[in-house]
Structure formats: structure tokens, C-alpha cells
Amino acid sequence: MTEDTDATPSPAAAAPVLVIVSGMSGSGKSVALKTLEDLGYYCVDNLPADLLPQFVRSVHNDDGAPPKLAVAIDVRNRHSDLAKIPEWLSAVGALGFDPQLVYFESSDEVLLRRYADTRRRHPLSRLGLPLADAIALERQVSRPLRQIADTVIDTSEMNVHQLRRHIITGFGLSGDNAVSLLFESFAYRHGVPADADFVFDARGLPNPHWNATLRPLSGRDAAIREYLDQQTDVGLYLSQVGAFLDTWLPRMVEDTTRSYVTVAFGCTGGRHRSVYLAERMAEHARQQGWDEVAVHHRELD
């Protein structure tokens, strides 16, 4: 991992923030935008660049306007529009926002491998170019964006989990003393997340896997949630874990200088119980007043 700036900026408290997510296709922009959405940003993907000031003005004028916006603008736009980004960023700044352009990139070798693994089409493949040529053209077209970026993040050596962590720790803070909470689900058969601060084992709870109707679903689905909500043991588990976290998370934050805490829930397959618990405890944390709460399902995302 490399960065062209000394540190990833945190959103400023004095002005509403607009993060422009840009960079190379396949470098992790979609993961970054989804993570920002989890952190409370109002996100829009593939906004026409010429509509940027109009979009910001429209959202900002609404009652209860979100203080944090994130917009993905990249080579899917008209190439002539990308050259005018500095002009539109100035217009956004005049509206009282603090615009930050974050450019994601990876090496050609890594991008070629990622496209081979996912079998997705490159945005410039519509021009009839081979993949290597499409990547080269995209790098050339987006060079002006890279040159004016506030932060350049090279994801060549990052996996999706490391990238999410990087975004959470860099953009999840709303103030000097703010802390980001990440609730993560995982499967024990694939190992415990190495960076988890708290780990809770859900394998003793009723398992929807043994219900043929519920098995294809995940803990995100309403049917799984309804099933587990009705289980007495699950209710007791949530109550006890919630009371533990309500007691010890604030003390942990007070006694350390950390900017994020990860709470992980594990079950056998990482699909039903752990996902449900991570979602429920994230909801509980938000109700308790934690502003920066994100959820990550390792075996699903």
C-alpha cells in the first residue's frame, strides 16, 4: 500500500464534506463507496460530472440535509467533462462544502488479474479495445484527476477487507475524539479476523441452516431475522452482549487513543447467525448514540 499524501484526511467538522471517489476501474472504488455509505455518507455512483454543483446544491437545500456526501466520478463520464472537474470543485467549495478528491489506483498487473477473476467488462470495452489497451487509455484519460487528488490510494496489495479498514479509519471520524465501530461477521472455518478487538461465538445458538427453507438465505433477509428474533436463546444472547458492549466500549475508548474498534461475531458458515448478530448490534450501537457505525460480512461481501 502506498499513498501520495502524508495521511488520509478526515472530514472537517466546520463544513459539510463532499468526497469525490475516482480512479481506475477495478481498483476498489465500489468497495470504497459502499463503505462510505455504511459510515453515514449520502452516496451517488456515476454522477455526470457536469451535474456535481447542481446535485450538491439540491441536497444541501433540503431539510435535514446530510452533512457528508460521496460521489463516484470516473471514466464512465464523458472524457471532456473530466477535465472540468477543478472548475466544478471550486463551485462546490463556494457552496460551503469541503470537497476532497480521493483517487484509487492499482498496477496494470493487478487490474488484469482482478478482471480475469471477476470476468467483468471494463467500462471502455465498448470501444472494442483489448483489456490491456482499455486500462492504458483509462489511465491516460484520468491522469488529470490523479494530479489534483487530495489523496491517492494504491490498492495493489490490499484485499477488500483491508481496503474497507483503510476507508473506515480514514473517513469514519466526525471529530477529534470520534471513534468508528465496525461490526463484522465471519465463519470460524475460515479463521477469526486478526484485527478484531472483541470476538463473540454464536455457534451455540439455533442454526437456520438446518431449515431447508431458510438455508439459501442470509442473516440480512427478513425471514432469517424473524426466525432468530423468535428464539429465546438469541434474545438472551443479544441482551447480554449488548450490556457488555454498553459497559466496556466507552471505557475502552476513554482509556486508549484508538480511532476504531472492531466487534466480530462468528458462526460455522458466517452466513446466518453471525450476520444477523452483527446487523442487530450495529443497530443497537446507533441507538446508543454511536455516530460512526459500519457493518462488514466477511463471507458475503
Query: Binding site annotation covers 191?
Result: no
Report which residue type is found at 232: T
Query: Binding site annotation covers 80?
Result: no
Please, are residues 70 and 172 in contact by the beta-carbon 8 Å criterion? no
Query: Binding site annotation covers 25?
Result: yes
Q: What is the CA radius of gyration of the chain?
A: 21
Query: Binding site annotation covers 74?
Result: yes
Q: Is the dihedral of CA 127, 133, 134, 139 positive or negative?
A: negative
Report which residue type is found at 116: A
Query: Binding site annotation covers 76?
Result: yes
Query: Binding site annotation covers 29?
Result: yes
Query: Binding site annotation covers 28?
Result: yes
Query: Binding site annotation covers 90?
Result: no
Query: Rounded to the nearest 5°, which phi and psi values hold at 181?
Result: -105, 130
- Strand segments, DSSP code E, in 56-173 are 68-72, 98-105, 151-154
Query: Binding site annotation covers 281?
Result: no
Please list, in sequence order, all residues whose beta carbon lies within 8 angstroms of the beta carbon of residue 92, skipping any fewer than 6 positions away: 18, 52, 53, 56, 99
- Strand segments, DSSP code E, in the chain are 2-3, 17-23, 42-44, 68-72, 98-105, 151-154, 180-187, 198-201, 260-267, 292-297
Measure Cα distances from 24 to 44, 114, 154, 191, 201 in Å.
17, 12, 10, 31, 39
Please, are residues 60 and 8 in contact by the beta-carbon 8 Å criterion? no
Query: Binding site annotation covers 158?
Result: no
Q: How far apart, in Å, do the first and last CA atoms of the chain sit?
A: 21
Please, are residues 22 and 144 in contact by the beta-carbon 8 Å criterion? no
List binding-site positions: 23-30, 74-77
List binding-site positions for ATP: 23-30
List binding-site positions for GTP: 74-77
